[in-house]
Structure 1
Amino acid sequence: MPANIPIEERLKERIKELSCLYRVSSAIREHTDSEEKTLIAVLKILKDAWRFPELATVELKKGNLHLTTNPIPESSHYQKSEFKIFKKDTGYVKVYYPFTDLSKAHFLIDEQRLLDKVTYEIAVFFERQQLRKQEELLQRTAERNDRLSILSEITAGIAHELNTPLGNILGFAEFIESKSTEEQSRQDASKIIKAAIYSREVVKKLMLFSCEMPQDIQVIPINPIITQALSLLSPNLRKANIETSYSIANPNLKAQVDPIQLTQVLFNLLINAIYHSPEHSVIKIEVLESKNHFYIKIADEGKGIEQKNKEKIFEPFFTTKPLGEGSGLGLSVVHGIVKSHKGTITTLQNKPKGTIFSIKLPIKL
């Protein structure tokens, strides 16, 4: 602190600095849910600690987050302290004085030290917030996986219990149809057969979700499977007036997969994307590769998945489609197949709109 400042003012400034640190710590400790509200409170506390608080403006910048206590003067002097979050340069805090009223000499060395300390506290606050969000995400993911595992066990049991009676219903209905001489009886038996076949398909999908279906794992090229799926779905795409964009980093990529099940995964995700995509939009399919895994990303430009539905979309019979337009088994089947291939499937927001389904599968099982 400059020697020409009276000792009383020095003590007053020192008390302000100590009070500032205490109040900043208290504001951060009392943080509840509004990150922006807490940071604004910290900036206002910091502003009051400067020698001329009525002329000071405090600014915080981190990525898209930009906060100020009041408008920044067009011509100004400032003190600045940069902060890092997890050892990365991410932002700064500045304190401004207007050029017309004060000079740079009006800033104190102790104020720069105080700014550095408060900026450090802000960085720690950001790190704690990130860690808390990551912990919450991990907890939600673990809870969702537990719920899906329980559903898999229940679903497998239901599927096995239904298989035998459905087989009996189908067998007896076919017998009645073949032996009956009355037209009405044959028609009724035909309806029973169709309903039983449909029910068996539902059971098959339930078994796929619960990883109970036998697999035919082969080392095969991935590119032909995707191009064939796109070719088979081309009538659906034309009818919906939607285009596709397909890219693969390594056209010669080979992996251990069940070709029929992988095709089913692609069909379910692409049909889902077509359903939710508006006309004249583009569905993007991208295949990437790392040392031990390959990734399939399917991005649409639809409305996206509502936050409240994100944790439910892979559950059996959950659907956002109108009644009669979806069984709610498509994505649950995809989840079961991916899981049986020791992979993972996640959803991401496709900015500015839409959804990305990202599948991670091992190249070798």
Structure 2
Amino acid sequence: MIPESISVEEKLQERIKELSCLYQVSSAIREFEGSYEATLESIVKILKNAWRFPELATVEIQCESYHLSSNPIPKEGYSQKSIIKISENEIGFIKVHYPASDLSKAHFLVEEQRLLDKIADEIALFFERQNIKIQEEHLKQTAARNDRLAILGEITAGIAHELNTPLGNILGFAEFIEEKTAEKQTKRDAQKILNSAIYSREVVKKLMFFSCDMPQDIKKIKVKPIITQALSLLKPNFKKANIRFKFNIQDPALKAQVDPIQLTQVFFNLVINAIYYSPENSKIVISINNNETHYTIEIADEGKGIAPEVKDKIFEPFYTTKPLGEGSGLGLSVVHGIIKSHKGEISIADNIPKGTIFKIKLPLNF
């Protein structure tokens, strides 16, 4: 059996090992290059060599989603443990194990427990600093994006106003030509002009929605009629795509403060999007639920889903995954803008086993 007592010389050697351990751990953290796992692996190796019996010690670290150990953990043994905390929130622990077959609890030193506590604090500070850096970077990106969107909003509002008058003239003259001419080719050409002008007017309308230049008409009304009327108008789209839909609402009498035209625009954009990406013979489910303060609208399709790298971009203006000429890239940014103006939130989730769910959360009153 290995003796529990320790000589003065051994004590001095242990202190030197502990100081060396602290220095090496600080260096490993300072040299962090983006891999948490690599840094924790270094700390595991450093700690193992700092203990009184390194050849028998097993170091285990669990921190957030990471779990590492220097060796297989003994089935029967003794351990020292220190909790890793950030602002009183436990995020993990460090343990040093000794096998019961060779050592006892008494073979651990009080100084080793203090060292373990210091290392736990070092790891906690390391993770806290990294989390703060990530949050700061996210805030910088958000601020920069908001600045770009604000500038873009001003530009698009100006463009929309400038285009409205000539588009109105084009529509008016094209209708006049179509009505007055007897030539079939001229009528067909006038109709093409009309169709293009109407499409352009819709783009202008989306630009105005995006730039928040469309006046709101907020009123306390029932939500169900807005959705059922929109679904009725969309029935030809469902039929043409050979797609079914199901509408569920928790409270048919639900009332909320909303701009009915803007909510219809949101619903149209999301459902038309869902139809576009859904395969034939699939189903789109629309669900509305509520509690005392909020209501949610969920639109779930059975399409191919949205790639993770795309999810962060789809609400950006002019971003589209559709082929050239099939989308302006404004539909979802318009949706996002309207939801924000209603003090709401919109998010995306995977529809298991396949497809996408757009989730809208809106206050009943604001």
Q: CA deviation at 1:335?
A: 2.1
Q: Contact 1:240–1:274 (CA<8 Å) still a contact in 2? A: no
- SS at 1:59's partner residue? strand
Indicate whether 1:32 and 2:33 are aligned: yes
Whole-angstrom distance in 2 between the partners of 1:92 and 1:322? 51
Whole-angstrom distance in 2 between the partners of 1:20 and 1:144? 44
Whole-angstrom distance in 2 between the partners of 1:327 and 1:321? 9
Q: CA deviation at 1:174?
A: 1.4
Match of 1:255 in 2: 256
- SS at 2:73's partner residue? coil
- SS at 2:96's partner residue? strand
Identical columns (%): 65
Unpaired stretches in structure 1, ≥5 consecutive residues: none
> Per the alignment, do residues 27 and 340 of structure 1 end up closer, same or farther by CA in structure 2, a change over 3 Å counting?
same
Q: CA deviation at 1:177?
A: 1.5
- TM-score between both structures, scaled by the size of structure 1: 0.85
Whole-angstrom distance in 2 between the partners of 1:299 and 1:93? 44
Whole-angstrom distance in 2 between the partners of 1:342 and 1:352? 31
Q: CA deviation at 1:218?
A: 0.8
Tell me which amino acid in the other structure corresponds to 1:195. Answer: S
> Per the alignment, do residues 111 and 304 of structure 1 end up closer, same or farther by CA in structure 2, a change over 3 Å counting?
farther
Whole-angstrom distance in 2 between the partners of 1:136 and 1:350? 30
Whole-angstrom distance in 1 between the partners of 2:242 and 2:102? 65
Match of 2:332 in 1: 331
Indicate whether 1:215 and 2:208 are aligned: no
> Per the alignment, do residues 203 and 98 of structure 1 end up closer, same or farther by CA in structure 2, a change over 3 Å counting?
same
Match of 1:21 in 2: 22
Match of 2:365 in 1: 364
> Per the alignment, do residues 188 and 300 of structure 1 end up closer, same or farther by CA in structure 2, a change over 3 Å counting?
closer
Whole-angstrom distance in 2 between the partners of 1:320 and 1:256? 33
Match of 1:142 in 2: 143
Whole-angstrom distance in 1 between the partners of 2:329 and 2:65? 38
Q: CA deviation at 1:334?
A: 0.6
Q: CA deviation at 1:364?
A: 3.2
Residue by residue over 1:130-175, the C-alpha shift from the partner in whole angstroms, topping out at 9 and shown as x without a partner, is 2222222222222222222222111111111111111111111112
Match of 1:166 in 2: 167
Tell me which amino acid in the other structure corresponds to 2:125. Answer: V
Q: Contact 2:157–2:213 (CA<8 Å) still a contact in 1? A: yes
- SS at 2:21's partner residue? helix
Indicate whether 1:60 and 2:57 are aligned: no
> Per the alignment, do residues 38 and 332 of structure 1 end up closer, same or farther by CA in structure 2, a change over 3 Å counting?
same
Tell me which amino acid in the other structure corresponds to 1:213. Answer: M
Whole-angstrom distance in 2 between the partners of 1:244 and 1:120? 54
Tell me which amino acid in the other structure corresponds to 2:50. Answer: A
> Per the alignment, do residues 179 and 276 of structure 1 end up closer, same or farther by CA in structure 2, a change over 3 Å counting?
closer
- SS at 1:94's partner residue? strand
Q: CA deviation at 1:125?
A: 1.9
> Per the alignment, do residues 325 and 253 of structure 1 end up closer, same or farther by CA in structure 2, a change over 3 Å counting?
same
Residue by residue over 1:1-41, the C-alpha shift from the partner in whole angstroms, topping out at 9 and shown as x without a partner, is x9931111100001111111122122222223111111111
Tell me which amino acid in the other structure corresponds to 2:266. Answer: V
- TM-score between both structures, scaled by the size of structure 2: 0.85
Whole-angstrom distance in 1 between the partners of 2:338 and 2:66? 41
> Per the alignment, do residues 74 and 364 of structure 1 end up closer, same or farther by CA in structure 2, a change over 3 Å counting?
same
Whole-angstrom distance in 2 between the partners of 1:246 and 1:91? 43
Q: CA deviation at 1:297?
A: 4.8
- SS at 1:66's partner residue? strand
Match of 2:75 in 1: 74
Residue by residue over 1:295-353, the C-alpha shift from the partner in whole angstroms, topping out at 9 and shown as x without a partner, is 54555565554454444322333201223443322102212322333444444667887
Q: Equivalent residues in 2 for 1:1-365 (5 A)?
A: 4-226=5-227, 229=230, 246=248, 248=250, 253-276=254-277, 283=285, 285=287, 287-289=289-291, 291=293, 294-298=295-299, 304-306=305-307, 308-347=309-348, 355-365=356-366
Q: Contact 1:335–1:345 (CA<8 Å) still a contact in 2? A: yes
Q: Contact 1:286–1:298 (CA<8 Å) still a contact in 2? A: no
Whole-angstrom distance in 1 between the partners of 2:137 and 2:186? 59
Tell me which amino acid in the other structure corresponds to 1:65. Answer: Y
Tell me which amino acid in the other structure corresponds to 1:90. Answer: I
Q: Contact 2:243–2:284 (CA<8 Å) still a contact in 1? A: no
- SS at 1:77's partner residue? strand
